[in-house]
Chains A and B, each alone.
Chain A
Amino acid sequence: MADMKADELGVSVARDPSMMTHAVPTKDWMDIEAVFKPGNYCYPAKTSIVEYLGKELPPGVMGPARDWDVESDDWKLPDNWKEIIIDGLRQRLDKFRSLKIFMDCCVRCGACADKCHFFLGTGDPKNMPVMRAELMRSVYRHEFTKAGKILGRIAGARPMTFKVLKDWFMYYYQCTECRRCSVFCPYGIDTAEITMMGRELLHLVAVNINWVLEPVSNSNRTGNHMGLQPHTLKENVEYLCDDIEEITGIKITPSWNRKGAEILFITPSADLFAEPGIYTCMGYLLLFEYLGLDYTWSTYASEGGNFGSFSTNELMKKLNGKMYAEAKRLGVKWILGGECGHMWRVVHQYMGTMTGPADFLEVPKSPITGTVFDNAASTKMTHISEFTADLIRHGKLKLDPSRNDHRTVTFHDSCNPARGMGLIEEPRYVLKHVVNKIHEMPENTTREKTFCCGSGTGLNTGEIMELRMRAGLPRANAVQYVHDKYGVNTLSCVCAIDRATLTALMGYWVPGVEVTGVSELVGNALIMDGEKEVRETGLRFEALAGSEGDANV
């Protein structure tokens, strides 16, 4: 009998592997329905927030505010929701030529299929970029092409149904718009923009997520994601200055909302209140103090992050406009931008056609080196890494990289600066001068092929932590490699979302690796005039290499 059973089991494994492990159904993708359960979706936006934003935007953009339950089969959609979506798609096909091209020109070669971190961490074919786009293309074909109208499913077409809407909500929120897939697409299809359109269409019927819309609402009303009021922002920076004084002996008193300053500095607000961004902020403060820079912070433009770009282009435009309105009001010459991700994507890729060039400002010119940043001739906004690299190139900074000898560093190219604006060499150049021990991650995981943190585009929320961990696997896997091989203990980057999300990612996958901004490492290495004779700790009160005792006490 025992042998019989063994035989049966053996056959079962070879022929039907679902014996114990319960293989997933292998139906055609169109027949598989998205199932929402706790942990695989983000919470919808609060009704009050949708109402508020709805009043701020042209009618219809935010859809009808209501309480709805993602797991339910009744999303309380308006009766004519299909019509709203199809009309919305039609308008966008007319307005955005890129969308029309992306809907038509894919030949389904599959080059993008295995390049998405969500696919690599889940194996779900709808996370292949080509399939994520098919979720919309199938509806496009059905509504807007002859072949699709006549042949239907044979031509890859399907009508807009609730099942399709669920697919969209599931998979357009399992895309971080990182654009890695577009690097490999022979046609240059930007799947991120398809996701952006998908999310816009979902917003028309008020299918949205709170983690995106509440920060947008706060930014619109108060100036930053948290809704921090001016005095709180100022106090937060003051307490960072207290720490700087304790660590370096240098007293810094930055100015706020100062009219006539030469430069307006804008960074993600997370740099002002959340670890480890605050240490990056301390790096900025030290650098500007060192240079004696004529700059100001703003409580109104106190957010570089633009979560509007994760919802609808109207909101993206609105939040981007705030930075420039403030620059105009204060009468600054140009804007210096901190270590942010999507702020730069919006400025670099979309602002030109969205709001036009900022002609009322001057082309950024470093007051220290005289370098003119012609690359920012239209936007008038320069990245802190470009600015710092230029200072180092001209020998303007006294640096002691050995102060970072307690760190063995690797650099994560944040998707938006790397792929969205080509900022690849500058942060590396800076790192090379402030850190002695640097090791690159494998070639197919860095630079323009960098893997996303897995939690961008407003997906850095706690309710989907497991999803974030599987999406971040490819990034973490490469960090694990350099951690094991070279003893890398520091993952540096130039993005505030990365600083937050990679911290969680490392906490799960590669404990022992800390996440830093590049400017934090600059702050550690910078030899300030009049500073303490011996710098005993780094900016996070951590012991430096060779220092004795517990640095925290």
Chain B
Amino acid sequence: MDLNKVLDENRLVIAEKWLDAVLATYHKDGARFFKKQQDQFANPLGYNARTGLEKMVKAIAQGGGQEVPPELKQFIKLRAVQEFTPAKALAFIYDLKPIILEVCGKESGEVDVNQWLKVEAQIDNLALMVFDLYMAARELIYKVKYDELKSGNAGVAAGGCPSGAVIRKHNAEKMELKVLRDC
């Protein structure tokens, strides 16, 4: 039995089960909607999760999977700002292993260990890739917070007189530009 072939043939079933496992991390009323609504703008979470997971399963089945599809990237970014611990946010990646074993095992009786190890390595690699994405998202959120502070918008309720700081910043920048021009 060729595991990749069975995987490819059953990729939609596998992606569906994987999606169910992901959506089970939300309240059932939310999950029901995320699964049902197909419009990508009316349901960005569901659309990106579904499309991202389907593309990922397909890539793994075809021996690829070295890149995370944009839809899954957006979904990871969302997980990074939802109320999950980092582990809980990303644990769904590992759910793919038992799902593949269950579906492909049923289809072909036995799963070849060597072939499985290759697929498993791809999934482990995926876990590392999304870990990077998750961390990049967390670092970005701190940058966004910092940029907002810097812009003056965060000063509204901070008290004091940030406009003075704005003027000082402006003057400092002007001085810097002057120095550059003089050079």
Do A and B belong to a common assembly?
yes
* Binary flags per residue of B29-65, CB closer than 8 Å to A gives 1, else 0: 1110110010111111100100000000000000000
Q: Mark A425-468, 1 if CB is under 8 A from B, else 0.
A: 00000000000000000101100000000000000111001110
Q: Which A residues from 472 to 486 make CB contacts under 8 A with B?
A: 473-474, 477-478, 480-481
CA distance A189 to B109 in the complex (A): 57
Q: How far is the CA of A24 from the CA of B34 in the complex (A)?
A: 15
Q: How far is the CA of A119 from the CA of B45 in the complex (A)?
A: 10
A1-12, CB under 8 A of B: which get 1 and which 0? 001001101111
Most buried by A among B22, B95, B149: B95
Pairwise interchain contact B102-A7, C-beta atoms closer than 8 A: yes
The answer to whether A21 and B25 touch (CB under 8 A), given A228-B161, A232-B163, A462-B154, is yes
Point out the residues of chain A lying under 8 angstroms from B25, CB to CB.
17, 21-24
Q: Across the interface, do B30 and A17 meet the contact criterion of CB distance under 8 Å?
A: no
Give residues of chain B (118-153) contacting chain A, Cβ–Cβ below 8 Å: 137, 140-141, 143-145, 147-149, 151-153
Query: Once the chains bind, are B17 and A14 in contact (CB under 8 Å)?
Result: yes
| Chain A neighbourhood of B44, CB < 8 A | 120, 473-474, 477
Are A236 and B166 closer than 8 Å at their CB atoms? yes
Is residue A517 contacting chain B, with contact meaning CB distance below 8 A?
A: no
Q: Mark A92-131, 1 if CB is under 8 A from B, else 0.
A: 0000000000000000000001100001111111001000
Q: Which residues of A contact B11 (CB under 8 A)?
A: none
Q: Which residues of A contact B29 (CB under 8 A)?
A: 123, 125, 128
A508 x B148 contact (CB < 8 A) = no
Residues of A within 8 A of B21 (CB): 13, 17, 19, 21
Q: Is A273 part of the contact surface with B, judged by Cβ < 8 Å?
A: yes
Segment of A74-82, A207-215, A530-538 in the binding face: A207-215
What residues of chain B lie closer than 8 Å to A389, measured between beta carbons? none
User: Is there a chain B Cβ closer than 8 Å to A553's Cβ?
Assistant: yes
| Listed stretches A310-318, A415-423, A499-507; interface member | A499-507
Name, among B28, B94, B144, B164, the residue most crowded by chain A CB atoms within 10 Å (CB to CB).
Answer: B144
**Are the C-beta atoms of B167 and A235 separated by less than 8 Å?**
yes
How long is the Cα–Cα vector from A123 to B39 in the complex, in angstroms? Answer: 16
Per the 8 Å Cβ criterion, residues 205-228 of A in contact with B are 210-211, 214-215, 225-228
Residues of A within 8 A of B159 (CB): 214, 227
Contact A465 B91 (CB under 8 A): no
Q: A444-B41, A503-B151 are in contact. Are A125 and B30 (CB under 8 A)?
A: yes
Within the complex, the shortest CB–CB distance from A512 to chain B, in Å, comes to 13
Query: Measured between alpha carbons, how far is A23 from B24 in the docked complex, in Å?
Result: 5
Residues of A near B155 (CB, < 8 A) are 226, 273-274
Contact residues in B for A12 (Cβ distance below 8 Å): 98
In the bound complex, do residue B101 and residue A9 qualify as a contact, i.e. CB atoms below 8 Å apart? yes
**Residues of chain A at the chain B interface (Cβ within 8 Å):** 3, 6-7, 9-14, 17-24, 26, 37, 39-40, 113-114, 119-125, 128, 210-211, 214-215, 225-228, 232-233, 235-236, 239, 270, 272-276, 442, 444-445, 460-462, 465-467, 469-470, 473-474, 477-478, 480-481, 500-501, 503-504, 507-509, 511, 552-553
